[in-house]
Structure 1
Amino acid sequence: MTVMTEIPMREHANAASRRGGAPAISILVPFYRDDASALITALAPLARDPHDFEIVLFDDGEPDPELNQAICALIDGFELPMRLLTSVRNRGRAAGRNLLAGQARAPWLLYLDADMTPGDDAFLDRYHTAIATDVADAVFGGYETDEPDNPAHRLHAALSRTSDQHGAASRNAIGATAFCSSNLLVRAEVMRDCPYDEDFTGWGWEDVDWAVSASARFRLTHIDNPARHGGLQEATELLDKFRAGAINFKRLIARHPELANLPGARAARLLKRVPGQHWLRGLWARLSRSEGLPLRIRTLALKLWRASWTSEVI
């Protein structure tokens, strides 16, 4: 496993952060083009004691300098301690999360994506309770996805609701493989002992790899404390993401052979037996992009597309 430690970067800290002090929870927000303004603005009033929290953001490569400057200006106006770390080049999802963990000052870390917002006003209070009651060493709160106004985003919302949006009871029955890398509360010492594997590059599966690895040594659990997930993508973006993610899935199965019976792996093995199945990818792509079709057909076509590319590498 590779862990990158030398990542050139600059830091912008607001006045509250420069006053120092050790918070109880460091809220860690990596982003790449996504605007974290709504998340920051929604979180700040929920921190009943500003000394209990800090927000640390990480701009991974600064692809949008104007957005970076806007975030700097925004955090300067808050009394809650906030810092923006900016990498001089893109390092990826796993490396960004490891960097944030290394820069955090609190004994507990809460990872959130920049396109998220808290599910309700008790969002941070529930995590305080989870810490106070010592429910686990890492806690995943879950997601909620609103019905999008843009028809081009309805496929992604439907896929999220069927694949990722489950209550705590269902997720606890699944176990570690139901963990995601955002809306994740975790002890800082766990991240020091079990960082994300930075050999997972691009999109996908580094969160499952981390959770399965961590569950062998630490206590992991699920609770009902969802964050609302924005950042929905169009069908073409999802098709590209799932095709590229096949390589990471191969790495996941190589590192954890016991996961070979995950639904995606089983579907890929079945497709692999179908002669010439790769010729059907064009059909599955067209069905996925066809907004006039029922969403259940489009999501099935998208899953078949993903399984087809996975069949090439397992």
Structure 2
Amino acid sequence: MTAHPLELTRSGAATNTQSIILSVLIPFYGDDPRPLLASLAAQAQPGIEIILFDDGAPDAALSAAVTQAVIVADAAVTLITSPVNQGRSRARNALANAASGDWLLFLDADMEISPGFLSRWRASLKETDCDALFGGYAPCEPRSRHERVHAALAHASDAVDAQTRSAQGAFAVCSSNLAVRASLFARCPFDEGYAGWGWEDVDWALSAASLGQVGHVDVPAAHGGLQSADELLSKFARAGTNFARLLTRHPAYESRPGARLARKLQATRLSLPARLIGRSVARWDWAPMKARILALKLFRAGAAARDLPRGRA
């Protein structure tokens, strides 16, 4: 990829980076990070910096508004603006390269945090012997009927406690609400071979687990940006090549239920029917919610089966 100059904007408080303990890192592309920034700035203490990455500035008005919010912020805030879209992995790597903290905390721009969030993270990081910790998700509440299926999927798959996640180890780690020691991240950045949405976080967790200790803690954050069934289906449809890359790099993931289902659909040549059935049921508002969740998972497996290289079933 051709190198493009990055523009930096800093708040008045973002001057001393010598005593930073925690760098909070937030990439965004289209989503408005200002509500999250305001919540973080209100909780920020000495030793904490906040860095945002505007990944391509697709919305000029939003970029201008975020820039102004950074300039007037009371906390130590830096905004990095890229003139072109770098992608999820490159954006996170750029954030890590700009960070000064001993710990890096990755958040998504559409996340919502509760009071005391940063204090709980600092306490957890002070006590842990791990090299990376996943804080988990808080329950997500839909704001409209179009978001109900995404909220239900999040409740079923993501909103589980640290004890439950610990039993799955690195398989249960996501890149949003993830704290990593800077020393580990220097050895294990995100793989920039992933394009678009999906699976780069699982790849990172499996790679990191081979280099350090990856653990779980209960410091949840909620995703405010719930999506409609059509939006989820569109993302799943585009993620098949990333899933194929994950299995190539980490064959152990073949043992996971979703991977096994994708391989079975591939072996039985049922990828297309799985996608058609999954899409139809997931979009039906009157269908039982459990059926819609299963339909989304079936569609995702069908999309993965379509793009997987031939391998063991």
TM-score normalized by the length of structure 1: 0.94
Aligned residue-pair number: 308
TM-superposed deviation, 1:20: 4.8
* In structure 1, C-alpha distance between the alignment counterparts of 2:187 and 2:28, rounded to whole Å: 24
1:156-171 mapped onto 2 (5 Å cutoff):
156-171=150-165
TM-superposed deviation, 1:122: 2.3
Bigger shift: 86-95 or 145-154? 145-154
Q: Does 1:24 align with 2:18?
A: no
* In structure 2, C-alpha distance between the alignment counterparts of 1:123 and 1:45, rounded to whole Å: 11
User: What residue in structure 1 maps to residue 204 of structure 2?
Assistant: 210
* In structure 2, C-alpha distance between the alignment counterparts of 1:223 and 1:20, rounded to whole Å: 27
CA deviation string 1:5-42 (max 9, x = no partner): 94521011111113554311111000000001110111
Q: Does 1:257 align with 2:254?
A: no
CA deviation string 1:162-194 (max 9, x = no partner): 111211001100000111011011111111110
Aligned with 1:306 (options 294, 297, 300): 300
Does the CA-based 8 Å contact 1:5-1:99 persist in structure 2? no
Q: Does 1:283 align with 2:282?
A: no
Q: Does 1:87 align with 2:87?
A: no
TM-superposed deviation, 1:259: 1.2
Aligned with 1:188 (options 182, 191, 194): 182
What SS does the aligned partner of 1:278 have? helix
Aligned with 1:226 (options 210, 217, 220): 220
User: What residue in structure 1 maps to residue 100 of structure 2?
Assistant: 105
Unaligned residue ranges in structure 1 (runs of 5+) = none
Does the CA-based 8 Å contact 1:147-1:157 persist in structure 2? yes
Q: Does 1:59 align with 2:54?
A: yes
User: What residue in structure 2 maps to residue 14 of structure 1?
Assistant: 11
User: What residue in structure 1 maps to residue 39 of structure 2?
Assistant: 42
What SS does the aligned partner of 2:14 have? helix
* In structure 1, C-alpha distance between the alignment counterparts of 2:88 and 2:269, rounded to whole Å: 36
Unaligned residue ranges in structure 2 (runs of 5+) = 309-313
* In structure 2, C-alpha distance between the alignment counterparts of 1:276 and 1:267, rounded to whole Å: 11
Please give the root-mean-square deviation of Cα atoms over the aligned residues, in Å. 1.6
Bigger shift: 142-151 or 31-40? 142-151
Does the CA-based 8 Å contact 2:10-2:79 persist in structure 1? yes
What amino acid is the match of 1:43? L
Q: Does 1:149 align with 2:176?
A: no
What amino acid is the match of 1:156? H
TM-superposed deviation, 1:276: 4.7
Does the CA-based 8 Å contact 2:29-2:58 persist in structure 1? yes
Does the CA-based 8 Å contact 2:140-2:155 persist in structure 1? no
What amino acid is the match of 2:140? D
Does the CA-based 8 Å contact 2:275-2:300 persist in structure 1? no
What SS does the aligned partner of 2:218 have? coil
CA deviation string 1:108-163 (max 9, x = no partner): 11111110121x32211122112222331111000123321210011111111111
Does the CA-based 8 Å contact 1:145-1:230 persist in structure 2? no
Aligned with 2:91 (options 79, 87, 96): 96
Bigger shift: 155-164 or 275-284? 275-284
* In structure 1, C-alpha distance between the alignment counterparts of 2:22 and 2:79, rounded to whole Å: 16
Does the CA-based 8 Å contact 2:278-2:295 persist in structure 1? yes
What SS does the aligned partner of 1:143 have? coil
Find runs of 4+ consecutive structure 1 residues off by over 4 angstroms.
Answer: 4-7
* In structure 2, C-alpha distance between the alignment counterparts of 1:132 and 1:96, rounded to whole Å: 27
> Residues 261 and 288 (structure 1 numbering): CA distance in 2 closer, same or farther, change over 3 Å?
same
Bigger shift: 197-206 or 38-47? 38-47
* In structure 1, C-alpha distance between the alignment counterparts of 2:271 and 2:135, rounded to whole Å: 38
1:121-136 mapped onto 2 (5 Å cutoff):
121-136=115-130
> Residues 277 and 72 (structure 1 numbering): CA distance in 2 closer, same or farther, change over 3 Å?
closer
What SS does the aligned partner of 1:175 have? helix
Fraction of identical pairs, as percent? 43
What SS does the aligned partner of 1:300 have? helix
What amino acid is the match of 1:17? A
Does the CA-based 8 Å contact 2:25-2:95 persist in structure 1? yes
* In structure 2, C-alpha distance between the alignment counterparts of 1:20 and 1:35, rounded to whole Å: 26
TM-score normalized by the length of structure 2: 0.94
Does the CA-based 8 Å contact 2:277-2:299 persist in structure 1? no
